[in-house]
Structures are given as C-alpha cells and as structure tokens.
Amino acid sequence: MPGPPEVYTPAEAAEVLKVPESWLRKKAAQRAVPCTFLGKHLRFSAADLHRIVHQAERDPATDRGARRPDRTE
C-alpha cells in the first residue's frame, strides 16, 4: 500500500522550484498555477510542481523578429 501523497508548503515548493515564495503565492492566489488547498492551507503536490514547470516551458525562438536596420547616416 503506497504511503500518503507528499505535499509541500509554499516555502518548500518555492525552494524546490527555485523561485521566490512571494511569486508562487501570488500566482496561486490568481489561480495561475496549479495548487492544492487542504482546508484553508495552501499546499503543492508533486504533480502540481510538475505541472507548474511544464506550463512554463517555451519552445526556442527560431526567428528573432525583424533585423536591426542598417545605420546609414
């Protein structure tokens, strides 16, 4: 039988993600990142942390946009 799921406090989750706790709390309050509420207590499951990282992934830019104009003066 598996043990209980591991959950992290905002401070612990922020440390794991290497982001400021204030940023993580703000995003959770905005419901902009996955989080778990156990009663009134904000917690993050391991699945929440994985989803936060996955949502933040970006594809590399293949075109940096328009070129800088030549400086002809």
pLDDT in tens, 17-62: 999 999 999 999 999 999 999 999 999 999 999 999 999 988 888 7
pLDDT of residue 66: 57
Q: Which residues pair with 37 in a beta bridge?
A: 42
- Whole-angstrom distance, CA of residue 50 vs CA of residue 68: 38
Domain definitions of the chain by residue range: 7-55
